[in-house]
Structure 1
Amino acid sequence: MTLWRIRATVDDRPGYLSVLTASLALRGVNILTVQVQPTEQGAVDDFLVDAPDALDEAELIAAVERGRGRDCWVARSEARGLADQPTRVLGLANRLVRDPDATGEVLRTLLGADSVSWRPASVGVDRGIVGAGMLLADPAGGSFALRRAAPAFTPAEYARAQALAEVAATVARRAAEQVTLVLPDGAEVAVRPACADDLPGVQELHEECSARSRHRRYLGGAATPPPARLRRLLEPSRGLTLIATSTVPSPAGEPVVAMANLLGEGDEAEVALLVRDDWQRRGLGSALLRRLARHAERAGYGALVLHVQAENTPMLRALRRLDRPNVAERDGALLTLTVPLAVAAVAERKGTSLTPGA
C-alpha cells in the first residue's frame, strides 16, 4: 500500500462527499484523514489515503472524477503526513515560540510552498490569495509572499498561515524588548512592550507629567487622553509601544515613568515619547528612541517620522543622539522630521529571501 494526498473540489451539497469516498473505496483506497475546507467554488476535500501499490496517479484522478470531484490534485505522501492538521500546526507554533526568526521556513512547511519571500511594507497592497500566490501581513511590518504551483491555496490555509505569522511577531516582540536599561546616572529602568493591563499605570504617568510635557507629546492639547485612546496606543494594530518602569519599588508597585510609541502607517512609522518630568534629561528618551528605531528597521519600515514642536529641545536632542541622517520640514512652530531606515538585512532575520517591490 502507498500513501497519497488527494485534493479535489465537490459541490457543497448533501451526499456529494459520500459519492466521492465511495468511488475511492471501489478501487480499494483507504481514507486515513479528511479535511473539508469551504470555498466560493465548493467544498475542497483534502484526503490522506492508503492506496494499493498497483494504482498510479492517473487512476486515482479517474476515481475522483467518477466520484464527481473536480480540479483534482494528487501527490505521494510520507509517513509524517499521518499527523493530523491541528497537531502539525501546534508543532510549528511551538517551533516559532523557540525561534520566531524561522517564520519563513515554518510557513513553507505548513503550506508546502514552492517559495516564500519577505517584502517591506507597502501602501495599497491587498493581502490574500491571488492565483498561485498568497500575500500575508507580517504584524511586525511588511508582508510574506508565498507561491505554490499546485494545489491552489484555500482560505482556511490562509487563516492558519496568518495565525502563525502573528504568533511569531508576538513572541519576537516580547522576547526582544524585555530589558533593563542602566542610564548614565546609574538609575535602572525596566523596558518592555506595553499591554492593556498597563492602562492604570499609563494614566498615572500622564497625571504626573506637567501640562507642558503632555502638550509636547500630543501637540494639540495638554489634557490626558481618554482611556479608549490610551488603550489603542498601548496595543497599536501596527507597530509597538514600550513602557519604562522604575526598578525602585513604591507603595503602588513599579511606576511607569515613560511611554514610547511606534505607530505604523504604510512604509513609515510615526514615533512619539512621553517621559515623566523628573526622568527627563537623564538619557531615557534617547534610549527608548534607539530601541524603537531598531525595531522599526527589523520590521521593514522605510523611515521614522517625528512631529516635534520647534521649542521641544529634549526631543530634538534625543534625535541628534540617534546619530542618523534626517530630513526636516517646518510648518510654523511644528517640525516634521523623517529618518530613513535600512531594511536590507531584515529578510535574512526572518528566514526568507528579499523580493523587491510589493
Structure 2
Amino acid sequence: MRQTGFVRWVRAHGRGCYVFVGVLVWMTGLVWAAAGGGTATALIGAALSALAAVTVGAASRNGASSGGAAPATASETQRPLEVREAEPDRKPVLWRVRTGVVDAPGQLAEVAAALAALGADIRTVQVHPTTEGAVDEILLHAPSGVRRRDLLRAVRVAGGTSVRVARAEVHELDDIPTRALSVATGLVTGRTELRRGLAVLLGEVAVDWCEPNVRIQEDQHTIAVPAPGGGMFRVHRSNGEFTPAEQARAQRLADLAARSWERTPAHADVIGTRSGRELPTRVVDRSDYAHLLAFYRACSPASRHRRHRAGPPDQDEILRLLTPGVGRALAVFDGDDIIAWGNLVYEGEQGDVALLVRDDWQRRGIGTALARLLVDHAERVGLSAVSARTQVDDSPTAATLRAAGFILHRVPEPGEWHWTHNASEHAI
C-alpha cells in the first residue's frame, strides 16, 4: 500500500511523534469544547483520538520492523527463546598422568601443586619404585578446557621426566589391589582371560600371542609372559617403561591363569537344534587335535573350502587355532564325535569368527547357536566388535550369520563379503 508523507514521517520519528499527535488531538478537543462543543463529549473524543493515534502508530512501527507481520503478544515477548546456543560441556575429564620423579623430599608435592594450578583434582596416586627413583601414576579430573599439552607442560616444569598423559576410563579409578583381585576373580571364574587381564592391570599395553618357538626380545618397554595352553604373550608399552613391580605382577597373574586353566574344567554349554535335540558344546584345545582331525576328514571338500578358502589347514594351523592365547575354540559333540566347531580369533580389541558344520548336521541351527556363543564370549572379555568373512556365493553361512545378529558390512575384495557384529564392552 502506498504511504503518505505524513505516515512516513511518523514511522521515521518513532514513539515520540505518536504521543505528540495524541496531545495535539486532545488540545484540539479542549479548544472545541471551550467554543461550545460540550466538555464531556470533547474529552471523550479527544481521549479516543489520542488512544487511536498511539495504537495505530505502534502498529505501524511494529509492521515496519517485521515486514508487516502481526505484533507479538505479551506472553510471546516474555517467553524465553526456544533455541539457544548449546552450553559448553563443563564435565571434568579423567586423565592418566605417568611420570618419573626424583627420589627427593617434596618432588611429588611440586607435581601436585602444578596440577592443582590447572584446576585438576587428583583422585588416585600409585607409586612404582625403580632403581633411579620412582614412577608415579596419577589419575585426575581436570576441567574440560585443560588439554593434554597443558598437563604435559605443567608436570615437566615441576620436574617430571618421561611424562606420559592419556585419557583414562572410569574403571581405572579402582586402586591396584582392587583391580588385581577383580582380574584374578575373572580368571578363576572364566569371565576373562589372561590377555584381557594384563591389559586391565597394566593400562595402555599391546598384548600379542607368539608361537612357542619365537623368542621375545625383552627390554624396558617389552616383557614376555607365558600364555596358558602354549606360547608366549608379548606385552609392549610404547608410552612408558615397565617398572619391576609391574613385571612381577604380570608374572604372578600368568601363574594364576595357568593354574586356573589346568584345574578348571573346560567351559561347557548345551545348544539345541531346530528339532529340539540338545547337544553338548565345550571349549577345545590342543589335546583335542585327533578328534578335530577326524571331524575335518568327515566334512566334504566344498564345506572345508567355505571355511578355509586358501585350502585345508595344516597341522600347525589347526594347533594354533586350538591355542587359548589365540582366542576361543568351541566344538559341538554328538557322543565322542565333533560335528561342528567355531573359532573366535582375537585381533587387538576385535575378534574374527569362523564356523564349520559337518554336512549331515547342516541346516539345523547349530552354526547359528555356535556363533552366538562366540559373540557372548567376545562381550565377556571386552572386545569392541566381531567380524566374519564369507564368499559371496556361500548362502548357507550368510544365513547363519544373519540369524546370529551379524550384518553385511562391506565387500573388501571381489568375491568376498565382510560381516560385523557389534559387541558390548563389559568391564571386569
* Whole-Å separation in 2 of the counterparts to 1:296 and 1:92: 18
* Whole-Å separation in 1 of the counterparts to 2:185 and 2:401: 38
* Whole-Å separation in 2 of the counterparts to 1:102 and 1:261: 17
Q: CA deviation at 1:184?
A: 1.4
Q: 1:278 matched to which residue of 2?
A: 360
Question: Quick check: 1:268–1:303 contact (8 Å CA) kept in 2?
Answer: yes
Higher strand share: 1
1:267 matches 2:355: no
Q: 1:153 matched to which residue of 2?
A: 245
Q: CA deviation at 1:234?
A: 1.6
What amino acid maps onto 1:256 in structure 2? I
Ranked by relative contact order (alpha carbons within 8 Å, sequence separation 6 or more), the top structure is 1
Q: Using a 3 Å threshold, how does the CA distance of structure 1 residues 219 and 236 change in structure 2: closer, same or farther?
A: farther
Q: Using a 3 Å threshold, how does the CA distance of structure 1 residues 325 and 154 change in structure 2: closer, same or farther?
A: closer
Q: 1:208 matched to which residue of 2?
A: 298
1:239 matches 2:339: no
What amino acid maps onto 2:375 in structure 1? A
Structure 1 stretch displaced more, 283-292 or 181-190: 181-190
1:335 matches 2:427: no
Gaps of at least 5 residues in structure 2 are 1-128, 133-180, 209-217, 238-242
Question: Quick check: 1:191–1:243 contact (8 Å CA) kept in 2?
Answer: yes
Question: Quick check: 2:350–2:383 contact (8 Å CA) kept in 1?
Answer: yes
Question: Quick check: 1:120–1:301 contact (8 Å CA) kept in 2?
Answer: no
What amino acid maps onto 2:323 in structure 1? E
Give the 5 Å matches for 1:23-172.
Answer: 99=189, 153=245, 155-165=247-257, 167=259, 170=261
Gaps of at least 5 residues in structure 1 are 1-38, 43-90, 108-115, 146-150, 248-253, 351-358
CA deviation string 1:162-199 (max 9, x = no partner) = 3224556x489956x30222211123321101122211
* Whole-Å separation in 1 of the counterparts to 2:344 and 2:360: 23
* Whole-Å separation in 2 of the counterparts to 1:237 and 1:103: 9
Q: Using a 3 Å threshold, how does the CA distance of structure 1 residues 311 and 154 change in structure 2: closer, same or farther?
A: closer
Q: 1:250 matched to which residue of 2?
A: none
1:225 matches 2:313: yes
* Whole-Å separation in 1 of the counterparts to 2:205 and 2:403: 27
CA deviation string 1:147-175 (max 9, x = no partner) = xxxx961643431133224556x489956
1:193 matches 2:283: yes
* Whole-Å separation in 1 of the counterparts to 2:184 and 2:412: 49
Q: Using a 3 Å threshold, how does the CA distance of structure 1 residues 267 and 293 change in structure 2: closer, same or farther?
A: same
Q: Using a 3 Å threshold, how does the CA distance of structure 1 residues 242 and 331 change in structure 2: closer, same or farther?
A: same
Question: Quick check: 1:189–1:246 contact (8 Å CA) kept in 2?
Answer: yes
Secondary structure at the counterpart of residue 153 of structure 1: helix
What amino acid maps onto 2:245 in structure 1? F
Q: Using a 3 Å threshold, how does the CA distance of structure 1 residues 123 and 305 change in structure 2: closer, same or farther?
A: farther
Q: 2:397 aligns with which of 315, 337, 355?
A: 315
What amino acid maps onto 1:243 in structure 2? A
CA deviation string 1:24-78 (max 9, x = no partner) = xxxxxxxxxxxxxxx9959xxxxxxxxxxxxxxxxxxxxxxxxxxxxxxxxxxxx
Secondary structure at the counterpart of residue 331 of structure 1: coil
Of structures 1 and 2, the larger Rg is shown by 2
Structure 1 stretch displaced more, 302-311 or 232-241: 232-241
What amino acid maps onto 1:195 in structure 2? D
* Whole-Å separation in 1 of the counterparts to 2:192 and 2:348: 24
Q: 2:145 matched to which residue of 1?
A: none
Secondary structure at the counterpart of residue 274 of structure 2: coil
* Whole-Å separation in 2 of the counterparts to 1:281 and 1:313: 11
What amino acid maps onto 1:240 in structure 2? R
* Whole-Å separation in 1 of the counterparts to 2:244 and 2:313: 47
Q: Using a 3 Å threshold, how does the CA distance of structure 1 residues 216 and 241 change in structure 2: closer, same or farther?
A: same
TM-score under structure 1 length normalisation? 0.53
Question: Quick check: 2:389–2:418 contact (8 Å CA) kept in 1?
Answer: yes
* Whole-Å separation in 1 of the counterparts to 2:310 and 2:325: 23
Secondary structure at the counterpart of residue 185 of structure 1: coil
Q: 2:383 aligns with which of 298, 301, 314?
A: 301
Q: 2:213 matched to which residue of 1?
A: none
Q: 2:374 matched to which residue of 1?
A: 292
* Whole-Å separation in 2 of the counterparts to 1:93 and 1:154: 15
Cα-Cα RMSD: 4.6
What amino acid maps onto 2:411 in structure 1? E
Question: Quick check: 1:310–1:334 contact (8 Å CA) kept in 2?
Answer: yes
* Whole-Å separation in 2 of the counterparts to 1:94 and 1:119: 16
Higher helix share: 2
Question: Quick check: 1:178–1:193 contact (8 Å CA) kept in 2?
Answer: yes
Q: CA deviation at 1:326?
A: 4.8
* Whole-Å separation in 1 of the counterparts to 2:300 and 2:319: 21
Q: 1:18 matched to which residue of 2?
A: none
The size of the alignment, in residue pairs, is 233
TM-score under structure 2 length normalisation? 0.45
Q: Using a 3 Å threshold, how does the CA distance of structure 1 residues 230 and 220 change in structure 2: closer, same or farther?
A: same
